[in-house]
Amino acid sequence: MILVENLTKLYGTRIAVDNVSFEIKKGEVVGFLGPNGAGKSTTMRMLTGFLSPTAGRVQIGDHDMAEAPLEAKQLLGYLPETPPLYHEMTVRDYLDFVGQLKGLNAQARKQRIDFVLEKCFLTDRTRQLIGTLSKGYKQRVGIAQALVHNPPLLILDEPTSGLDPQQIIQIRALIKELAVDHTIILSTHILPEVQTTCSRVLIINGGKLVAEGSAEQLEAQLQGSMRIAMSVRAPEAALLARLSEFPQLRDVSLKADAGTGLVQAELSVPPGVDPREQLSQMVVSAGWGLVEIKNVNLSLEEIFLKVTTQEAPAVAASKEASHV
Ligand code: ADP
Ligand code: MG
């Protein structure tokens, strides 16, 4: 549905988007995640044809954005960071105006506007001036205007930014509902957004794509080695001695809690090695109590911090999957 190749944008000499390539397939809901200033809005403006790239190309469906912008734009609905709402217009008049711009005839407009008003829970606000709506309702009108011409693809730039928690829940629910029959890419600088609504995540930082994949794939990819945590009722020194008999264990750290009599052990193992069974047997055969043993994974939050705060090598957890 979207194909982006080597997309680059320079503002003067400053590089805002740096050689970004990705593909989004029909039906996907993709989160475009990155800190403020990462290049999300600039990328989305190029995806929607509002800004021309310095280099690289965008294809929407079968249409190249530079060669066939009208056909490409017909396939997409765009919620910009600041939606172009006319505050002195009523909700219905505004949507009718947008429908005219999109080239819909009067009958098609009436039908589509009734549909999107219903879809965006705006039916009780059709005659209200946009300027008098709450921020959450304005955002619904912003999404409604993106839907008027019935595009299969939605490009939403920070759809929940500036909303209160209840409005955020409502907009997320609306996005979930739209996801049933739309391909969606939405940008955000907050993590829970992608975890609740998206099937795949692209992480951008400093204009570069630094990671992509499902939350689970990113976790697996960035994990590298598995980290294991154990809670054992045992003498600390004796436990350490027995653990040192396992050659694959790295970064072993023990912490004894005098109060509970438990030792918390944490250790790493190389990829592909899982010594949890042997460790359990060792503890039990020594006559100690094994209270817990588990592997501790990085959360998406930790991955996000890892790839956006240090010079991380580009990670593409789903490269093969995304080119099927
Ligand atoms: P995000 O949406 O991820 O917060 P943006 O795409 O808005 O990031 O911005 C990316 C970078 O480009 C930032 O460093 C920003 O300051 C810069 N930038 C954005 N728009 C312009 C512009 N019109 N002129 C100059 N620099 C810009
Ligand atoms: Mg932005």
Residue 229 pLDDT > 90, yes or no? yes
- Phi and psi at 228, nearest 5°, equal -115, 135
Whole-Å CA distances, 90 to 78, 81, 133: 20, 21, 10
pLDDT at 310 (0 to 100): 60
Whose CA is closest to 125, among 95, 160, 92?
92
HSE-up of residue 131 (Cα within 13 Å, Cβ side): 4
pTM recorded for the entire structure: 0.77
Plot region of 24 (φ>0 → left; ψ -120 to 50 → alpha; else → beta): beta
Q: Tell me which of 9, 10, 11 to substitute to probe ligand 1's pocket, judged by most ligand atoms within 8 Å of the beta carbon.
A: 11
Residue 273's pLDDT band, with cuts at 50, 70 and 90, is: confident
If 0-12 CB within 10 Å is exposed, 13-18 middle and 19+ buried, where does residue 240 land?
A: middle
| Cβ–ligand 1 contact at 198 (below 6 Å) | no
Residue 24's pLDDT band, with cuts at 50, 70 and 90, is: very high
Give the residue ranges of DSSP H helices in the chain: 40-47, 69-74, 91-101, 106-119, 135-147, 165-178, 191-197, 215-223, 236-243, 276-285, 300-309
Residue 113 pLDDT > 90, yes or no? yes
The three-class DSSP label of residue 201 is: strand
- pLDDT (average), residues 117-123: 93
pLDDT at 85 (0 to 100): 92
The CA 126 to ligand 2 mean position distance, Å, reads: 29
pLDDT at 70 (0 to 100): 94
| Cβ–ligand 1 contact at 59 (below 6 Å) | no
Q: Which atom of ligand 1 is nearest to the CA of 42?
A: 6
Residue 315 pLDDT > 60, yes or no? no
Tens digits of residue pLDDT in 287-307 = 999 999 998 866 677 777 777
Residue 23's pLDDT band, with cuts at 50, 70 and 90, is: very high
- pLDDT (average), residues 33-51: 96
Q: Is the Cα torsion angle 8, 77, 143, 181 positive or negative in sign? A: negative
DSSP state of 152: S
pLDDT-above-70 percentage for the chain: 92
Residue 319 pLDDT > 60, yes or no? no
Residue 286 pLDDT > 90, yes or no? yes
Which residues are bridge partners to 11 per DSSP? 14
Nearest-10 crossing angle of helices 91-101, 106-119: 130
